Amino acid sequence: MEYKVLREKYDKFIYQNYEITQDKENIYLKYEFEIENLASFHPVLTIAKKDFEIRNLDSNIAKNIAFHLGIVEAISYYKLTCSKYFCIQCGTLNQEQIAWYQKLIYLGLGEFRYINHIEVSQSDFVKIVTEGPVLKPEKLQANLKDCMVPIGGGKDSNVTLELLKQTSYKRFGFRINLEEVSQKCAKIAGLQENEIIEVKRKMDDKLIELNEQGFLNGHTPFSAMVAFLTYFVATIFGKKYIVLSNEDSANESNIKGENINHQYSKTIEFENDFREYVKNYICPNGPEYFSFLRPITEFQIAKLFSEQEQYHKIFKSCNVGSKSKPWKWCCNCAKCLFPYIILSPFLYKEKLVEIFGEDLFEKESLLKTFIELCGYSENKPFECVGTYEEVRVAVSKTIANLDGKLPFLLQYYKNHFDLVNQDLLHYYNENHHLPKEFDEILKGKIFEC
């Protein structure tokens, strides 16, 4: 459907209410949203209590985080019509906070706007209007401890889990929607069942129904939702560090010359903004949110992961394959081809073919995706993939490693593009938020390579 038509017809999106409830087994975050004259929505987040010590659940801090989490959760529903007005009835934001969320919604929906041909300025995209109680920041009274690591099942979080064994902090895993792959990775990392925090995210069925009817659809800033959700969970379970696995490579735009990034809420820009926001408006001494792999690149992560053979037959990052039971590599998308490429200098050929089931470098059907990943087209795939530079270096090093006839994609690269000889293994970006102990561990690992 047309963006402008929907925006005029359904001009008001309403965030009506949020609620924190619990029973013997779970804690529930329940939300009420409405697109006026179209539909209402009631998503629920369910946090398993297990045997964790629960604190601060009835505090104003917990309510404040739950309120803010609701704004981010609402973006998935707001995008159906991109209503002119985003009306918040259950809490008041000041002008700085409104500007913060306008930025998040605009940049977080950057890919969505590009795909749906929506050309609009940040200031004109959404008008946020708020009413309700003012939620003031408060300090936590209890001390925090331990690390909480979101586990997605890909190579990045597995590298983080392994390196964190060297810290003085106890590790706890964090999983959303309990995918089998993340469960297996947590087990390999040595985490017990009572060391894994589990959350189920139930989207409202009406969202899918309206998407099928032709209302606007596209990528949302999922990692921003994860940021607020992990902050809530870390607060009520008393965890000191929320340790993400976002890398330096996430900062590159998908569209050359434009600030449109599939991974916006994984960038250092968002990390900076989020850390400042929660300290100013929620809790000045709350959990510390940072990405452990921020100083390094996907290329370096691939080198570290290539040495972690225990995960090689388990890890997955393919979105298409995630719909299969069991989860498998589809071997036809960018989320398969990129890890294949970035691991190839270290594992090609036999080990990679064993992991993926076939040699992706021989697939002519992947040529378009290959060229996009290498940076020789208008944009790179809208997926969580590395930079053009990393892909070119990985391809060039793999070609240099091989004798005799090259597989199709590598031969194509050699025939059409320049080989690159560059040392990426000792790169280290000092623009990060790693506490000293974490910084020393990662830096030591990188410079021993």
Q: Give the position of tokens 């060391």.
A: 195
**Bond from prior residue into 381 cis (ω within 30 degrees of 0):** no
Q: Are strands 196-202 and 44-48 parallel, antiparallel or unpaired?
A: antiparallel
**Cα distance between residue 107 and residue 110, in whole Å:** 5
| 24 vs 47: CA distance, rounded Å | 11
pLDDT for the residue 384 = 87
H-only helix segments in 348-387? 350-356, 367-374
* Residues of the chain below pLDDT 50: none
Q: Which two three-digit tokens encode residue 446?
A: 């990188």
- The whole-angstrom separation of Cα 79 and Cα 148 is 31
How many other CB atoms sit within 10 Å of the CB of residue 245? 23
Full-model pTM:
0.96
| β-bridge mates for residue 17, sequence order | 32
| Whole-number pLDDT of residue 49 | 97
- Take residue 339 and report the two structure tokens written for it: 């890890």
Pull the structure tokens for residue 37: 């004259």
